[in-house]
Structure 1
Amino acid sequence: MIPNRRYCVLKNLKLVKYTEAWAYQRSLVDKRINNPNLNDVLVLLEHPPVYTLGTGSTVDFLKFDPQVSEFEVHRIERGGEVTYHCPNQLVGYPILNLRYYQQDLHWYLRQLEAVIINTVANYGLKAYRIPDLTGVWLEEKKIAAIGIKVRRWITMHGFSLNVCPDLTGFQRIVPCGIVDRPVGSLAEFVPHITLDRVRVDIAKAFAEVFQVKLIEEISSDTGKK
């Protein structure tokens, strides 16, 4: 046990349908609103191909008609514009009670960026922020997107890091509404990188940045937590 550190349950899931993970997040948030003493949670998973739009995002950044599209599209309650999720992209959903950290959303966003930056540093790479934008870049390519929602200081949604995905799906959108900066992946800079390796590194970076003690719980069932 690490003295004075808050516990955070690490749930390593595999490929989870977006709507199932979305409902799961809401259930975790509801439980912590009802009982603020529950441990925090970090969910790590992948999604099948899906597009999501933030609350105030515009469909102008879609290069297809969502009303007649074959692609799965959801408008959700996070901030930010449209993004794309797919296999081999690592998605993290921290369910944290910010009353135990800092009740400051800008601070929280910068902490999530720090998690990604510290993770990428394990591979000898220097990722970075861009002023006035949210996310993480590596050699002019955006490798991680961040979008959050907070209810009564309980967080949901989170970050996505392109580890070794097929980036084709990003060609159908203007990712995060940024027209002049391409999307990239870690695999472009670290050949043979694997999602399993990055899972370990990102969990370690998360624990260090947020100063929590992770308790790992591995399961493939999002409906019985």
Structure 2
Amino acid sequence: MTIRSVLAISLETASVLVYNCYINSLLVNTSANKRYFSAAAQKQLIRNRVLAMRAGQLVDKDVVLVLEHPSVYTLGRGGNMDNIKFDPEKEQIKLVRVDRGGEATYHGPGQVVVYPILDLTQHKKDLHWYLRQVEEVVVRTLAKFDIQGERVDGLTGVWVEEQSSSGDNGQCSGRHEREMRKICAVGTHASRWVTMHGFALNVKTDLRAFDRIIPCGIEDRAVTSIERIRPDATIKDVQDAAIEAISEVFHLDMEDVETTSPL
């Protein structure tokens, strides 16, 4: 399967950097389109891979999509509408039902969203292992900015300990204590061991957007961002760090080639 056939899909709603991975190298293409990257495009990439495998073709490429979405709320499969605090019929920001695991979350400007489309038959056929590896990517990404990311027993995603107050989502109100705040949401799905969806890491996200939902269905935990801890970190810095962490965790060698090639 050639690079061009892998990426010959409709990117009608894309705002995406496409990293086309080989076991021993990683090729890079970018799109300047600034619209929303739909789940349908991810599914088409997966279908291409599955069809190639069924045909007995060698599929040695993984694909990683790196996005910065316009504002959108998403609700996972089986997600509870009680976690949505607004009327979707009257809201300008879209609410999209997607087939990842998990509940409600927000994507928007200032957030680094990463969708690995990996063939787990080339890594490990274990979805629990994969979820933990995605969290490890985030932990390593944060470590590159001297931020200690942690896991919380029984909860997905990555968390940081932060001085907080009784106000929600970073809003001060006087009483300070230490608490674990969610800095990155993780939600995945797989079809025939090919993964989709991934993680959303808050960098310079407007955290007030989370006030309109119960993030991930967890009422008693606030969210935070890299900016609150390391205000000098840029979106590009974090994107680069995330790709480096993916290389480390999934043992992919990187080869940065033409970044202006059309998709």
Please give the per-residue CA displacement for 1:116-171, whole angstroms capped at 9, x wherever unaligned. 10111112221100011100001111000011110000000100100111111111
Report how far residue 200 of structure 1 moved. Answer: 1.0
Whole-Å separation in 1 of the counterparts to 2:33 and 2:223: 22
Structure-1 residue corresponding to 2:233: 193
Give the counterpart of 1:98 among 115, 120, 143.
120
Residues 108, 94 of structure 1: alpha-carbon distance in 2 compared, 3 angstrom cutoff: same
Normalised TM-score (structure 1): 0.90
Distance 1:151 1:219, change over 3 A: farther
1:136 match? 158
Partner of 1:213: 253
Q: Which runs of 4+ in 1 moved over 6 A?
A: none
Separation in 2 of the partners of 1:192 and 1:12? 25
Do the aligned partners of 2:156 and 2:186 also contact (CA within 8 Å) in 1? yes
Change (3 A) 1:117 1:32: same
How big is the alpha-carbon RMSD for the aligned residues of Structure 1 and Structure 2? 2.0
Residue 173 of structure 1 corresponds to: 213
Q: Does 1:117 align with 2:139?
A: yes
| 1:30 corresponding residue in structure 2 | 47
Distance 1:91 1:220 in 2: 22
**2:188–2:197 Cα contact (<8 Å) kept:** yes
Corresponding residue for 1:107? 129
Give the CA deviation at 1:23.
2.4
Tell me how far apart the structure 2 counterparts of residues 115 and 61 of structure 1 sit (CA, whole Å).
Answer: 27
Gapped regions of structure 1 (runs ≥ 5): none
Q: Relative to structure 1, is the Cα distance of residues 83 and 76 closer, same or farther in structure 2, using a 3 angstrom cutoff?
A: same
Does residue 73 of structure 1 match 2:95? yes
Residue identity in the other structure for 2:147: L
Contact 1:10 1:43 in 2 (8 A): no
Q: From the two aligned structures, give the one with the greater helix fraction.
A: 1
Of 17, 20, 24 in structure 1, the residue corresponding to residue 35 of structure 2 is 17
Task: State the number of aligned residues.
Answer: 218
1:17 Cα shift?
Answer: 3.0
Question: Whose RCO is larger (CA < 8 A, sep 6+)?
Answer: 1
